[in-house]
Structure 1
Amino acid sequence: MAKIKSFVYSLFFLSIITFFAISCGGVKDMEEKASNIQYKVNPNPLELHKGKVTINVTVEIPGGYMNPDAIIEAQLIMTGLNEFKYKFEKVIVQGENIQDDYDVISFENGGSINFSEKIDYNDDMKVSELYAIIDIIYKGKTLALPPKKLADGVVITSEFINAGSMYDYSTFAKEEGFESSSNKAMKKARLKNKQLMAKTINAKVKVQKTVSEKASAYIYYEKNKYKIRNSELEKEDIKNLEEKIRTIYDIENRKIVSININSSTSPEGGERLNEDLVNNRGNAGKKFLSEIFKSAEIDDEIDGFYNEIKDRKGWSDTEFVAFLRKSEMSDKDAILGVLKMYNDPEVINKEIDNIVHIYKDELEEMVLPKLRRSLYEIVIETGGISDERISELSISNPNNLSKKQLIYAATLTSNLSEKKKIYKVCIEIYSDAWQSYNNLGNIYLLEDDLNKAEEMYNKAREKNSNEPIIANNLGVVALMKNNFEMAEKEFKNASGSGENSNYNLGLINLKKGNYAAASRYFGTTPSFNAALSKLLIGNPNTALTILNKLDGKNVGIFYYLKAILAVRTKDTDSMFKNDKDPLLGKYAKNDIEFGKFFEDDTFKTIVK
C-alpha cells in the first residue's frame, strides 16, 4: 500500500507547489472548505460481478462552494498490486462565469459530479485503493486538493463459483462412484484455469429382477346355481389355465404368489341368496383348482395363497352397466341415461332392480348370464438373474446378456477401467446402445480426455438425437471449453432430464451475474453454489443453512465461505472458528470481506 499512496500523494504535492503563488487568491475558500465536499461510492467496498468491477461515484459539491470563475477537474484513480494503475476519464465542471461548454455548478445551489464505469477485473485489483483527485483551475493556475480515498479493495466472492463448482462436482462424483486420482488431477487443472465443472448425467437402465404374469379364466354358471358344468371345463381358457398350472415349476425361480377367486351373481336374486351363491361359487372354484394342483403334484406348494373375494355384493353395478352398454338391447341408451342421473350406489342398485323387473326377458338373453361367473386368477413371479451372475457374464460371456443387462453390469463395479471395458463390449454387440456411448463419454471426461468425451457424446447423439441427457453432457463439454453460449443452449435442450441440468443452468446464470435466476435453478438441493447464490442475492442466513447441510470436512473453500457468511451475519466467533485453513488464511489476509478485522490481533495470528 505504501507505493500506492506515494504515487497518489506525489501528484498532490506537485500541484501545491505550482499553485503556491495564488493560494491566497479567490479560491482560498474552496481549499479551506474542501472537507464539505461529499463522496458517495456504490457499492462500497467495490464488488466483482461477471468479470467486471462497477464503479459508481457521486461527488456532491455543496451550495456556497463553487467559485463562479473556477473550473474543477475531477478524476478517479485506482491503484493496486504490482504497480497496477487505472485512471478514469476526467470530468470537468465550471463556475457560472466561465464561458465554456462544461456542466455548470452554481455557487448558490451547488451540484454534483458523477462517475459510472465498468472495468475489467484482474487479480492486482483485489488489494487496491480508489482515490478521487480534484484539481481547481483558477485564472490559469491549478490547485490540487488532497487526494480523497474512497474505497479499499474489491470483493471477489462471486468468483468462488469456480472453486464451488469443483466442490459440488467432487460431491457428485463421490455419489456416482466416480472419484479417482485422475478425477482429482483433472479438477485441480480445471480450477487453475478457472474453468467451471458442471455435472454430467449417466444414462441408466432398469433391469427387471422379477417378472410378474397372470394366468386367468372365467367359469359361467346357470341361474341360482354354483355347480361347475362340464361344458365350462372344456373351454380353451380353462384348458390353458390348467396347462399353466401344471408347468409353473418347470422353469427355475418361478413360483405362485397368489390365487384369486372372484365370484359374482346377477342382481335379480335377493341379498341373502346372492351372498350364499357367491360363497358357494367361490368354494366350488377352490375345489376345482385344488384338484388341478393335486394332479400336478404341487398342492403342497400353494397352501395360504388363496384369496377368495367374498366380501362384495353379489353383483357389480359397474359390470352391469358395462355389459349393458355392449349389448344390442333396443332401450339400452334410455336405461343408461336413467342410471347416469344418480351417484349414490344404493340408489343405482334399486334402479337396476327395477330395470331387471321391467326388461327381464331381454336382460336374461343379453346381459344377466354374463354376471353369473367366477374369475380364477393365478399370479406368478419369475425371479430374474442375480447381480453376481450379470457381473460374471459381462466378462465371461457378454453375448448372453441383453443390452440393458450389459449397461447395468457396468454400474456394478466402481473400477473405471472395468466400466469402460463393459461399455465398449456393449457397443460391439449392440451398436445402437447410445447409453453406453454416453456413459463412456462421462468416464473419458473424468479422465480429462475432453475430445474423446465429446466424440462419445456425439456418437450417442447419432443413435438418439433427441435425448436430453446427451444434450446436458455436450453442454458440460462446451462449458469446459468456455463456450458459454453453446453450453447454455445444450443445458436448455436438456430440460426435464433432472436436477443436474438445472444445476448446470444455475452455474451459467451465476457466471452471468443473474443471481436470482441461478438460485431458482439450484432449487432445494444443497450445494456450495446454491449457498453462494443465496449470499449474492443478500440472503446470508439461508446460504448458511444450505452449507450446514453439506459435508465440508477437510475442504478449505467450504470453511472459507462459512467464515464470510459469519462476517455478513456479524457472528465474529464463528468467523474465527472457520477461517483457520493455513492456505486460505493467507488468502483472507488481503480479502476485503475481512477488512474490518485487518488490525485485529486474533485475525493477524490466523493469517500470518
Structure 2
Amino acid sequence: MNSKFLRTIGAGLSVAVILTSCDGLGKMLKKQKDIKYTVSPNPIEMHGDSIQFSVSGKFNPKLFAKKVTLTLTPVVKGNGGEKALKPVVLVGEKATGSGQKIGYASGGTFNYTSEKFAYEPYMRNAKVEVRAVGTVKKKEKKFDPVELADATMVTSLLVRNDEKGIMGKDAFVKTSPANQTTHIYYTISSSAVRPAEMKSEEMKAVNAFIGQNLNSPWYEFKGINVSAYASPDGETEKNENLAKDRAKTGSVAVMSEFNKNKNKTVTFGKTKEQYQVGTTKEDWEGFKQLMEQSTMADKDLILRVLTMYSDPEQRRKEIKNLSKTYVELAEKVLPKLRRSEITINVDKKSRTDEQITKLMTSNPDSLSIEELMYGANLSNDLNTKVQVYTSAEKQYPTDWRSANNLGVALLMQNKVTEASAAFKRASAINASQAEVNNNLGIIEAKNGNRVAAMDLYKKAGGAPETKYNMGILEVRNGKYSDAVADFGDYKGHNKALAQLLAGTPGAVKETIDASNEKEMGYSYYLKAVAAARGGNNADVISNLKTAIEKDGALKAYAKDDVEFVKLRADSGFTGLVN
C-alpha cells in the first residue's frame, strides 16, 4: 500500500469524523445514558382487557443535537412476544420534519401516552423498554434499548367467575287452609234452628267433607268458630241477646251433627270447649255488603240515606220503613243477615319430604308443579335436579320456572350451551321475569358479551345475586369502585379484590376474614398482594405460604406476578416460589 493511498484514506476518515461531530448525533449516542425516562404506572397495569401507560423524558442542556430527529418507540417485551407501540418523534431546533422540538442550549422534556392496547398472556411477566433511532438527513443510528418498567399487573384476572344464577321459587306449603263454612238462617226475632236449615245444600256439602276427611291423615281438624248475627232492623236491646242465643243454638245444632258419629275415638266437634263463639248485634257491615251485591234499582240511594244516620236506633227505624216500600229489601237482604256462620277450621297436609323425594324421580306425573319445584330443592345432587326439572318442564310447559331452574342446574354443571337453551325457553314464556334475565345475563357474560350481559342484569333489577354478577362484570371492565358498590354487603374474595383494585388494600383482610371464603388459597393470595401493596413483606410471605399450601398452582403464578417484583431478591420469597 503506497503512501499516497494512505494519505487519501486518512483524509477521508478525518472528513467523516468532522461531519459526525458537526451533526451532533455521535455526541448524543455517547451521552444517551443521560436521557432520563419515567413510566407511569410502574409496573404497568391492565384495566379491563387493555393496557395504557405514560412515558415522560428529560434531556439536559446541550444533549439534544440541533439537527437530529429522534424516534422513540416503547415496546412491551416478554417471553413469547412483543408489542411495539406508536412512536414519539422529537426534533432538534434545526432539524427538518415534524415532531416535538427539544432545545439544544435549554434542553427539554416530553410526555407521551400510549394508545390502549389489548393484553396478551406473554405481557404478564415482561418489561417495557424504549428503542430510539436518531437520524440526520440520510444518516441513522440506533441507540441502546433502555428498560423503563416492569409489566404487567393483571390482578383483576383473579376475579372469580362464579356468577350467581337465580331459581324460580316454589309456592309449596306444608299445610294449607281447607276451612269449610256453612250457615244457619233464622226467622225474624227468633233463635230457633229450623230442621230444614240442617238439610240445606250448603250444610250437606260440609257434612260430606267432614265424613270423607275427618279420619284422613291428610287433614287436621282444628276447631269450630260460630259467628252469630242479628239484622240491623231489630231493636238494639233485643238484638244483643238474640245474637247470643243464635250463637248458642247454632253451636248446639252443629254439635248434634258431630255426635251422630258414635265412634268414641272420634272426638272432634262433640264438646262445647271446641267451639269459639262471636256475636254481632247489628250487622250493619253485612247489610251494606248485601245491598251492594243486590240488583235493586235504588240500592245506592238507600245506602246514602242510611249512611246519614250514625245513631243505630234511628237507622233501624229507617230500615224498617224502607223494607215496607222495597220488597226485595225485606225478602232477600234482611233474612240473610239473621244467621249463624259456622266455620270448621281445617288444615290440609302436604306429602312428606320423604314421599316427595321418592315420587319426583319414580313417578313425577303424580306431583304438582309446586311439589316438583320443592322436591328438587331437597336434593343436593345436580343430576337429580336436572332430572326433576326436566320432568317438570315436560308436565308443566307453560310454567317458566321449570325451564329456568333446569338452566341453573345445567349451568352449575358447566353446561353453558344447554343452560342457555333452557333460559331462552323460559324467556319465551315470560320475557320480563327478573330471574330469567339475570340468568341470560350470565350466559352473555360467559360468552364475552359484556354489554349485552350488563343490559340484561339491569333489566333483571336489583336482586343481591344480580348485583353480585354486575360486580364481577365491573371488575372485568376495570370499573373497580362501581364493582365495590355492586357487591354491597357481600363479603368474600371478589369484593376484597374490587376493594384492592379500587385503591383500598387495607380493606382486603377484613372483607375476606368475614367471609366463608377465607380459607381458599386465592383468598390468602389476595391478602399477600394487599400486603405487598402496603409494603408489609412479613405478611406477604406469611399469606403467600398459606396460599401455596392450599393451592400448589399458586407457586408458579406468584413467581411471575409483578405484584411481588420488589421481593424477587428476597430469600423468603424466593424460598417459596423456586
TM-score range, shorter chain: 0.7 to 0.9
| Amino acid paired to 1:308 | V
**Equivalent of 2:322, from 357, 362, 376?**
362
Larger Rg: 2
Instruction: Check 1:525–1:288 CA distance in 2 against 1; reply closer, same or farther (3 A cut).
Output: farther
**Equivalent of 2:560, from 556, 581, 590?**
590
Q: How far 1:125 moved relative to its partner?
A: 2.3
| Structure 2 CA distance for aligned equivalents of residues 363 and 562 of structure 1 | 85
Q: How far 1:527 moved relative to its partner?
A: 4.7
Q: How far 1:47 moved relative to its partner?
A: 0.7
Deviations 1:367-409 (A, max 9, x none): 6655443321112122222222233344554554445545654
Q: Kindly indicate whether the alpha-carbon contact (under 8 Å) linking 2:131 and 2:146 is maintained by their aligned counterparts in 1.
A: yes
| Structure 2 CA distance for aligned equivalents of residues 432 and 484 of structure 1 | 29
Q: Kindly indicate whether the alpha-carbon contact (under 8 Å) linking 2:56 and 2:111 is maintained by their aligned counterparts in 1.
A: yes
How does the TM-score come out when normalised to structure 2?
0.75
Aligned to 2:357: 391
How does the TM-score come out when normalised to structure 1?
0.71
| Amino acid paired to 1:388 | E
Q: Kindly indicate whether the alpha-carbon contact (under 8 Å) linking 1:75 and 1:87 is maintained by their aligned counterparts in 2.
A: no
| Structure 2 CA distance for aligned equivalents of residues 586 and 71 of structure 1 | 46
The RMSD of aligned alpha carbons is 4.8
Aligned to 2:66: 69
Deviations 1:153-211 (A, max 9, x none): 321111112xx12xx4xxxxxxxxxxxxxxxxxxxxxxxxxxxxx44455554444434
Aligned to 1:552: 517
| Structure 2 CA distance for aligned equivalents of residues 421 and 284 of structure 1 | 57
| Structure 2 CA distance for aligned equivalents of residues 212 and 119 of structure 1 | 65
Aligned to 2:278: 309
| Amino acid paired to 1:48 | M
Q: How far 1:135 moved relative to its partner?
A: 6.7
| Structure 2 CA distance for aligned equivalents of residues 534 and 97 of structure 1 | 51
Instruction: Check 1:567–1:276 CA distance in 2 against 1; reply closer, same or farther (3 A cut).
Output: farther
Instruction: Check 1:371–1:439 CA distance in 2 against 1; reply closer, same or farther (3 A cut).
Output: closer
| Structure 1 CA distance for aligned equivalents of residues 242 and 275 of structure 2 | 19
Q: Kindly indicate whether the alpha-carbon contact (under 8 Å) linking 2:24 and 2:68 is maintained by their aligned counterparts in 1.
A: no
1:322 aligns with 2:289: yes
What is the DSSP-based 3-state SS (H/G/I as helix, E as strand, rest coil) of the residue aligned with 1:296? coil
Aligned to 2:227: 262
Q: Kindly indicate whether the alpha-carbon contact (under 8 Å) linking 2:174 and 2:350 is maintained by their aligned counterparts in 1.
A: yes
Alignment of structure 1 residues 376-455 onto 2, 5 Å = 376-394=342-360, 396-402=362-368, 404-406=370-372, 408-419=374-385
Aligned to 1:122: 120
What is the DSSP-based 3-state SS (H/G/I as helix, E as strand, rest coil) of the residue aligned with 1:219? strand
Instruction: Check 1:560–1:337 CA distance in 2 against 1; reply closer, same or farther (3 A cut).
Output: farther
| Structure 1 CA distance for aligned equivalents of residues 171 and 293 of structure 2 | 40
Q: Kindly indicate whether the alpha-carbon contact (under 8 Å) linking 1:47 and 1:53 is maintained by their aligned counterparts in 2.
A: yes
Q: How far 1:548 moved relative to its partner?
A: 2.7
Instruction: Check 1:149–1:19 CA distance in 2 against 1; reply closer, same or farther (3 A cut).
Output: farther
Please list every run of 5 or more consecutive structure 2 residues that lacks an aligned counterpart in the other structure. Answer: 1-16
| Structure 1 CA distance for aligned equivalents of residues 198 and 21 of structure 2 | 126
Alignment of structure 1 residues 116-155 onto 2, 5 Å = 116-132=114-130, 149-155=147-153
What is the DSSP-based 3-state SS (H/G/I as helix, E as strand, rest coil) of the residue aligned with 1:301? coil
Instruction: Check 1:89–1:423 CA distance in 2 against 1; reply closer, same or farther (3 A cut).
Output: closer
Instruction: Check 1:573–1:317 CA distance in 2 against 1; reply closer, same or farther (3 A cut).
Output: farther
| Structure 2 CA distance for aligned equivalents of residues 600 and 318 of structure 1 | 86
| Structure 2 CA distance for aligned equivalents of residues 604 and 263 of structure 1 | 88
| Amino acid paired to 2:257 | I
| Structure 1 CA distance for aligned equivalents of residues 157 and 226 of structure 2 | 68
Alignment of structure 1 residues 35-74 onto 2, 5 Å = 39=37, 41-59=39-57, 69-71=66-68, 73-74=70-71
What is the DSSP-based 3-state SS (H/G/I as helix, E as strand, rest coil) of the residue aligned with 2:267? helix
Aligned to 2:9: none
Aligned to 2:8: none
Please list every run of 5 or more consecutive structure 1 residues that lacks an aligned counterpart in the other structure. Answer: 1-17, 169-197, 340-347
Q: Kindly indicate whether the alpha-carbon contact (under 8 Å) linking 2:78 and 2:127 is maintained by their aligned counterparts in 1.
A: no
Q: How far 1:117 moved relative to its partner?
A: 1.9
Q: What's the % identity of the aligned pairs?
A: 26
1:603 aligns with 2:573: yes
Q: Kindly indicate whether the alpha-carbon contact (under 8 Å) linking 2:457 and 2:470 is maintained by their aligned counterparts in 1.
A: yes
Q: Kindly indicate whether the alpha-carbon contact (under 8 Å) linking 1:356 and 1:363 is maintained by their aligned counterparts in 2.
A: no
Q: Kindly indicate whether the alpha-carbon contact (under 8 Å) linking 1:492 and 1:505 is maintained by their aligned counterparts in 2.
A: yes
Aligned to 1:13: none
Aligned to 1:90: 87
Instruction: Check 1:376–1:20 CA distance in 2 against 1; reply closer, same or farther (3 A cut).
Output: farther
| Structure 2 CA distance for aligned equivalents of residues 486 and 136 of structure 1 | 45
| Structure 1 CA distance for aligned equivalents of residues 211 and 543 of structure 2 | 71
What is the DSSP-based 3-state SS (H/G/I as helix, E as strand, rest coil) of the residue aligned with 2:460? coil
Instruction: Check 1:70–1:349 CA distance in 2 against 1; reply closer, same or farther (3 A cut).
Output: farther
Q: Kindly indicate whether the alpha-carbon contact (under 8 Å) linking 2:28 and 2:63 is maintained by their aligned counterparts in 1.
A: no
Aligned to 1:300: 267
Instruction: Check 1:571–1:132 CA distance in 2 against 1; reply closer, same or farther (3 A cut).
Output: same
Q: Kindly indicate whether the alpha-carbon contact (under 8 Å) linking 2:493 and 2:517 is maintained by their aligned counterparts in 1.
A: no
| Structure 2 CA distance for aligned equivalents of residues 239 and 529 of structure 1 | 64
| Structure 1 CA distance for aligned equivalents of residues 143 and 283 of structure 2 | 99
| Amino acid paired to 1:236 | E
| Structure 2 CA distance for aligned equivalents of residues 285 and 111 of structure 1 | 103
| Structure 2 CA distance for aligned equivalents of residues 508 and 599 of structure 1 | 36
